[in-house]
Amino acid sequence: MKYLFLLLSTLAFAQQTKFVDFKSVSAQLTLDTKDKAVAGSVNYWFDVLKPIDTIKIDAQNMSFTVVKLNNKIVPFINTTQQLQIIFPFKNGKNEISFEYTATPKQALYFVGSSTSDDLQIWTQGQGRYTSNWFPSFDDVNEKVIFNIELAFDKDYQAISNGILSDKITSNNTTLWQYKMEKPMSSYLLMLAIGKFDKYTEKTKCGTNLELYLEHKDADRYETAYRYSVKIFDFLEKEIGVKYPWKVYKQIPVRDFLYAGMENTSATLFSNRYVVDSTGFEDRNYINVNAHELAHQWFGDLITAESGKHHWLQEGFATYYASLAERDIYGDDYFYSKLYETAQQIKYASRTDTIPVLNEKASSLSFYQKGAWALFVLHEAIGDKVFKKVVRNYLEKHSFQNVKTQDFFDEVNKFSDFDTDNFSKVWLESTVFNEKEINELLSKNKTAKLLLELDKLKKTPLSGKVGFMAEILQSDAYYTVKEAVVNQLRNETFKAKKQLLELALATNNVQVRQAVAATNSTIPEDFRIQYQSLLSDKSYQTQEIALFYLWNNFPEQRSAYVEQSKDWVGFSDHNLKTLWLSLALSTPEYEADKTALIAELINYSSSNYEAITRQKALEKLIGFQLINDAVLKNLVNATTHHMWQFSKFGRDNIRKLLKDKEMVLSFERILPELDEKERFQLSRLLN
């Protein structure tokens, strides 16, 4: 313990990375599905740059045994947050080895079970830290070459970063060996295990794209991964730097915390983007696909040295994703999205006091405003110079950490652009630069029309009806027609009926969906036209239209329920859960109501993913179809790893507890809950 004082005094003024350079790590991991635990044997190789007495490896709530330095047992401290190796380290090369076990509360997730044959295991390091499941480094500036061996049931795919160098099966277990050649930050380390089918595509440069799907989704392969090769080829050419890793894997997983995560060489994404051809019209993987792939350069190849410079990752990934979509959909789509995000930034600027260059900036600032800043810069210095700047910036700082000035240095090298003023306006201020934004948007006909419509928001309908009718009957891009419909939301139906009929006549899915969404009250003389929305190739439109029609025309309810009885919708069963709630709330509809209640309650149970459960619970609560089973499923939601779903559970329990009878109902089920559920409900009851 005599070295601890020196440790404190030494590291008080510098990060560990200035004293120690961790080079590589090899690990052999096993996973315990019963206890949801991980165990491993780990070897780290590192260089001591300056003498130091204690080396730290971040490790949350882990147990360690057989800790060795250069093959000799060495003293260590387990703080429950770090493994600290105590030794008078001198300059030179070293090896640390140890064995560990952990039962992570976050960052490593077990979804489903092997008994029900739907088990998936996956990780999410960013924001939750890999050090919860693997002894590593929360400091993004410590980049290491990771090599992972993973032993698991032979019937499953086991995936990690890098190239699969070997795969050995013995009895019922397969050993998967993954190798990386270049260093990366620890938050980009990943695991994914599940019963996936693997598909392989090849890009122009020869890189293998390994695309995974659950077997049940085999018929959705084309729509799930549409344009994947095109996006890869475009980004590699547009960025001007060869894809930095030897393989690129994409794996959709259940109950993922976010849309996607750009783990080095292996993106995980939410399986809600695995859609069929109808679902593709409402939501698809294209933007997420391009965004996470762009991160392989901006975030993985180079990594922001601190949260202050986070826009160097998210702003760049957002901008390059929009450029990829421009390549697919064209200029009108690109400028429509720029207009949309400009409106969001404008609205947020009224209350948002934190600029882009701040670690506490909002996602809107890091992502959308960061992307807008790059668009402004791109337009100002020209395409040729912009590409040269980006290429040099990436090549100069490959496999390193960066700050905003590193990017500006390259801009200044190839142009006379005023980066100081640019930074003040776009990165250090929250003021909405409306004049410059509108000038750039006006270069595109579609965006110019959107701006003209925006100016007419407060104009009485009589003063703009002719202009709106002209747009709806023209070849204007669909986003402009959507904007027309959205402006009609609060107008009287008599005044806007003709325009709505013109909007429906466009036969554009998005424009017709806008009609569905903006008219919750439907007069009888518009019922037939509105009913046509039920046949649109859009699960979202069908969901909106079915509910509003059922709500507005009680005498037609049985007919609407009968028409939609075989609908399912997205993988989250949005149409099926709505249908069940409507069928149960239509007394005259003949069906086995007991069986329907059981089916809807089952959708709200842990047998399904969070998004399906939430939709079912929303319907059960909204239509007041509540019994003890529903309440138990709602309480169970509060223990889920997805914070959005657990918050939904807590919020709805709080609302229900305003009713004294509900308080008694919750108290009645309390003894029947498990320990985690009792803890959560007791907190809410108290």
Express each pLDDT in 148-200 by its tens digit. 999 999 999 999 999 999 999 999 999 999 999 999 999 999 999 999 999 99
Residues 401, 304 contacting (CB under 8 angstroms): yes
Which tokens sit at 320? Answer: 């390059």
Sign of the alpha-carbon dihedral angle for 273, 301, 385, 422: positive
Q: What is the mean pLDDT of residues 304-323?
A: 98
The Cα 190–Cα 254 span in angstroms is 15
Q: In this predicted structure, what is the pLDDT of residue 11?
A: 44
Question: Cα angle vertex 273, ends 485, 156, to 5°?
Answer: 170
Is there a single domain that holds both residue 308 and residue 280?
Answer: no
Is there a single domain that holds both residue 24 and residue 158?
Answer: yes
State the Cα torsion 462-464-467-470 to the nearest 10°: -40
Q: For the beta carbon of residue 74, count every other beta carbon within 10 angstroms.
A: 15
Q: Which of 624, 602, 625 is nearest to 613 (CA)?
A: 602
Residues 378, 386 contacting (CB under 8 angstroms): yes
- pLDDT of residue 611 exceeding 80, the answer is yes
Residue 630 lies in a domain: no
Q: In the listed set 168, 186, 204, which residue is the last one of a domain according to the structure?
A: 186
In the structure, what pLDDT confidence band is assigned to residue 13 with cuts at 50, 70 and 90? very low
Backbone dihedral region for residue 407 (phi beyond 0: left; psi -120 to 50: alpha; all else: beta): alpha
Is there a single domain that holds both residue 149 and residue 13?
Answer: yes
In the structure, what pLDDT confidence band is assigned to residue 113 with cuts at 50, 70 and 90? confident
Q: Which of 52, 181, 18, 143 is nearest to 69 (CA)?
A: 52
- Catalogue the E-assigned strands of 154-224: 157-160, 163-170, 173-179, 184-185, 191-194, 196-202, 208-214
Q: What is the mean pLDDT of residues 276-288?
A: 97
Q: Which of 36, 108, 105 is nearest to 253 (CA)?
A: 108
Mean predicted lDDT score pLDDT of the chain: 95
- From residue 197, alpha-carbon distances to 213, 218, 597, 654 in Å are 5, 8, 35, 43
Q: Say which residue, 104 or 15, is predicted with more confidence.
A: 104
Residue 478 lies in a domain: no
Residue 623 lies in a domain: no
Residue 577 lies in a domain: no
- pLDDT of residue 634 exceeding 70, the answer is yes
Which tokens sit at 454? Answer: 């925006």
In the chain, how many H helices and how many E strands? 27, 23
Residues 355, 423 contacting (CB under 8 angstroms): no
- pLDDT of residue 10 exceeding 90, the answer is no
State the Cα torsion 665-667-671-676 to the nearest 10°: 100
- pLDDT of residue 247 exceeding 90, the answer is yes
Residue 53, φ and ψ in degrees, nearest 5: -105, -15
Residue 340 lies in a domain: yes
Amino acid at 526: F
Is there a single domain that holds both residue 180 and residue 44?
Answer: yes
In the structure, what pLDDT confidence band is assigned to residue 5 with cuts at 50, 70 and 90? very low
Residues 373, 461 contacting (CB under 8 angstroms): no
Which tokens sit at 540? Answer: 């979202």
Is there a single domain that holds both residue 286 and residue 332?
Answer: no
The Cα 649–Cα 616 span in angstroms is 12
In the structure, what pLDDT confidence band is assigned to residue 9 with cuts at 50, 70 and 90? very low
How many domains does the chain divide into?
A: 3
Is there a single domain that holds both residue 43 and residue 6?
Answer: yes
Sign of the alpha-carbon dihedral angle for 297, 300, 302, 304: positive
Tokens 């929360």, located at residue? 138
Is there a single domain that holds both residue 127 and residue 1?
Answer: yes
Q: What is the mean pLDDT of residues 44-51?
A: 97
| Tens digit of each residue's pLDDT (9 = 90 or more) over 508-560 | 999 999 999 999 999 999 999 999 999 999 999 999 999 999 999 999 999 99
Is there a single domain that holds both residue 89 and residue 147?
Answer: yes
Tokens 């069929």, located at residue? 276
- pLDDT of residue 7 exceeding 50, the answer is no
| Tens digit of each residue's pLDDT (9 = 90 or more) over 369-387 | 999 999 999 999 999 999 9
Residue 272 lies in a domain: yes
Q: In this predicted structure, what is the pLDDT of residue 116?
A: 79
Which domain CATH number covers 410?
1.10.390.10
How many residues does the structure list for the chain? 686
Is there a single domain that holds both residue 441 and residue 339?
Answer: yes
Sign of the alpha-carbon dihedral angle for 72, 77, 78, 81: negative
Residue 306 lies in a domain: yes
Residue 45, φ and ψ in degrees, nearest 5: -115, 135
Task: Kindly state the helix (H) or strand (E) to which residue 488 belongs, with its residue range.
Answer: none
The Cα 161–Cα 267 span in angstroms is 9
Q: What is the mean pLDDT of residues 77-84?
A: 97
Sign of the alpha-carbon dihedral angle for 639, 256, 622, 583: negative
Backbone dihedral region for residue 505 (phi beyond 0: left; psi -120 to 50: alpha; all else: beta): alpha
User: What is the pTM assigned to this prediction?
Assistant: 0.95
The Cα 643–Cα 316 span in angstroms is 27
Which tokens sit at 269? Answer: 């994404």
- pLDDT of residue 2 exceeding 50, the answer is no
- From residue 533, alpha-carbon distances to 471, 504, 538 in Å are 21, 9, 9
Residues 429, 355 contacting (CB under 8 angstroms): yes
- pLDDT of residue 3 exceeding 80, the answer is no
Q: In the listed set 300, 324, 357, which residue is the last one of a domain according to the structure?
A: 300
Residue ranges making up the domain that contains 238:
195-300
Is there a single domain that holds both residue 352 and residue 208?
Answer: no
In the structure, what pLDDT confidence band is assigned to residue 117 with cuts at 50, 70 and 90? confident
Residues 91, 48 contacting (CB under 8 angstroms): yes
Q: What is the mean pLDDT of residues 39-63?
A: 97
Which domain CATH number covers 42?
2.60.40.1730
Which tokens sit at 377? Answer: 């810069």
Residue 209 lies in a domain: yes
Residue 570 CA, chain-centre distance (Å), reads 18
Q: What is the CA radius of gyration of the chain?
A: 28
Q: Which residues contact 171 (CB under 8 A, 6 or more apart)?
A: none
Q: Say which residue, 7 or 273, is predicted with more confidence.
A: 273
Is there a single domain that holds both residue 390 and residue 258?
Answer: no
Is there a single domain that holds both residue 320 and residue 388?
Answer: yes
Q: In the listed set 165, 186, 207, which residue is the last one of a domain according to the structure?
A: 186
